[in-house]
Amino acid sequence: MATTFEVWVPLAREQVQVEVDGSTVPMTRSGDGWWRARVDQATHGTPYSFRLDGGEPRADPRSRWQPDGVPGPSAVYDHDLFAWTDQGWRGTPLSGAVIYELHVGTFTPQGTLQSAVDRLDHLAALGVTLVELLPLAAFPGHHGWGYDGVGLYAVHQAYGGPDGLKTFVDACHARGIGVCLDVVYNHLGPAHNYLSEFGPYFTDKYATPWGQAVNLDDVGSDQVRRFVVGNALGWFRDFHVDALRLDAVHALHDERAVPILEELSHEVDSAAATLGRPLWLIAESDRNDPRTVTPRESGGLGVHAQWDDDVHHALHALLTGERDGYYGDFGSLPCLAKTMTRAFFHDGTWSSFRGRVHGRPVDVERTGGWRFVAALQNHDQIGNRAAGDRLSATLSDDQLAVAAGLLLTSPYTPMLFMGEEWGARTPWQYFTDFADPDLAEAVRNGRRNEFADHGWDPDDVPDPQDEGTFRASRLDWNEPEKESGARLLDWYTTLIRLRRELPGLADPRLYRVEVTYDEDARWVMIRRGDLGVVANLAGAQATVPLGAVVDETVGRDGVVLAWHPDDTHTTPGTTTHGTPTSADKDDVTQIQLPGHSLAIVGLRP
């Protein structure tokens, strides 16, 4: 069997050779900078690498398989050899989705895609419809977050390589769960990154906080864009994934008339038509610009959804009381009310963290809430804290339940971070595994210095290079079996089920969401159609006026669900002037909630 090897090396001065299983074969150059060679007896698993002008052997920039990790040679990979069983899979909708973000290396003790398959029944029972995997692109070392990948086309071998990802996706589809893959196109990792030897993959026109900016609009960028688009399409086509989460798109510096996000959107929509199933792009962006998720036909970039950090900040600051850094503008009930109805808090308003006006308003009449992915916790908001502490380290179970209720009854697409559903007590810290001692020390000192500037004792900041930091971040699967974990897990599961079953909670129309609150008494009610989501954020009992008549045909006293059901009651209310109403059941207009509690109440039209 013969294999054609090809590689884009416009920077080669004289020759490019491919080393195949110990033999060196010269490659032929074409006018567009591509080099090609056809080699007999190169089959699945055959190792190969490229030599540029007689230099050191380098892995293929488009390698599908790195059996010995990123420092080693690439290996021929035949996609047709995998026996898929998901022929009946027709994709999953994003509207109505529940996303679950997980890091393969810490999701299970084994830290592999195969061991993650063994936990998929847990996710199916929870009600998850889309699993988001943190980056799998091959990166140096055994463990890490994955955002320093250098082999963007290959699956990290320690996780199970390309066959491991296919096995995972196939198993997800068998359970009715889609798969979203986190991809990083704004930079590459610092170790074993040799792309600049091949071609103008990077540019000095821009800078990113994490390394050289990818060349999307400078000289030679046509082929770099093909590299990016081809990578995205390959995950959909060859690995059957259903969505891509695009990391930090605000760092995709691109001044072209057709920016890379719009080009990606067009190509992915075309691929969806070819493959016969919906394919989704979800952007991480801090621009607060709704044009990111506005369809191309309406003048937007055509990305299907984006992360909404403002919702996270509003909930986190409100529940924890933190006001440092970007939490400074958040934490009030008026702030929560705005984010629950307008998607962005900063939509052309002053941002004290940035020292300038930030954002653009969302047209809530035309833009559905499902286009905004909201979370209480995610890898950034936990792992980028000095100690990697989750909300469970700060909040009580009662407060965690209230937080979950607000998120899972919101008009947005909710995303959970692994273990959140049972209030996991394990931290999720920043960990790396760089072999280069200078790079390892730079990462270690950079982390300590960053948090020392915020008042932390450097000795209290976990060492990213210490394997113990990685081990401490693994989930403890005994926790959901304990009473506290089991109760929270049941709460999450019930909320997700109700989100699917009750039209009021499933409705993504932002303009139909109504919020009332009392800042002093610390309660809020969010009306979702014929339902009222009532949260008491104070430590003492609260009586909350519902502003509508309770539908007593739904649950006991009209209460559909309550975190403390025995202590939650609807009673005759008062008018706005304080005059008691009739005790007739038709006049029930208020609800009594214990401290740190939430209830869903049926309301008459």
From CA 203, how far away is CA 531, in angstroms rounded? Answer: 53
Residues 6+ away with beta carbon under 8 Å from 109: 115, 474, 477
Annotated catalytic residue: which of 148, 170, 247, 433? 247
311 assigned binding-site residue: yes
317 assigned binding-site residue: no
Query: Can you read off the two tokens belonging to residue 19?
Result: 């080393």
382 assigned binding-site residue: yes
381 assigned binding-site residue: yes
What's at 200, amino acid-wise? P
143 assigned binding-site residue: no
Angle separating helix axes 309-320 and 397-408, nearest 10 degrees = 150
309 assigned binding-site residue: yes
310 assigned binding-site residue: yes
What's at 328, amino acid-wise? G
380 assigned binding-site residue: yes
314 assigned binding-site residue: no
> H or E segment at 316?
helix 309-320
Q: C-alpha dihedral over 334, 339, 340, 341, to 10 degrees?
A: 90
536 assigned binding-site residue: no
384 assigned binding-site residue: yes
Annotated catalytic residue: which of 284, 289, 308, 421? 284
60 assigned binding-site residue: no
399 assigned binding-site residue: no
Compute φ and ψ for 153, nearest 5 degrees.
Answer: -95, -10
379 assigned binding-site residue: yes
Runs of H (alpha helix) within 108-189: 113-117, 120-126, 161-174
3-state secondary structure (DSSP) of residue 349 = strand
Q: 528 and 345 in contact (C-beta within 8 Å)?
A: no
Please report, in angstroms and rounded to a whole number, the separation of the first and last CA atoms in the chain.
Answer: 70
152 assigned binding-site residue: no
Whether 420 sits among the annotated catalytic residues: the reply is no
Whether 247 sits among the annotated catalytic residues: the reply is yes
Q: Sort strands 34-40 and 597-602 into parallel, antiparallel or unpaired.
A: unpaired
Compute φ and ψ for 493, nearest 5 degrees.
Answer: -60, -40
Neighbours of 125 (CB within 10 A): 11
Q: C-alpha dihedral over 544, 550, 555, 557, to 10 degrees?
A: 70
> Strand runs (DSSP E) across 139-210, as ranges?
151-155, 178-183, 202-208
From CA 94, how far away is CA 413, in angstroms rounded? Answer: 8
| Closest to 442 (Cα-Cα) out of 459, 463, 472 | 463
Angle separating helix axes 333-342 and 309-320, nearest 10 degrees = 160
Residues at the binding site are: 245-250, 309-313, 379-384
Residues at the binding site for substrate are: 245-250, 309-313, 379-384
Residues tagged active-site = 247, 284
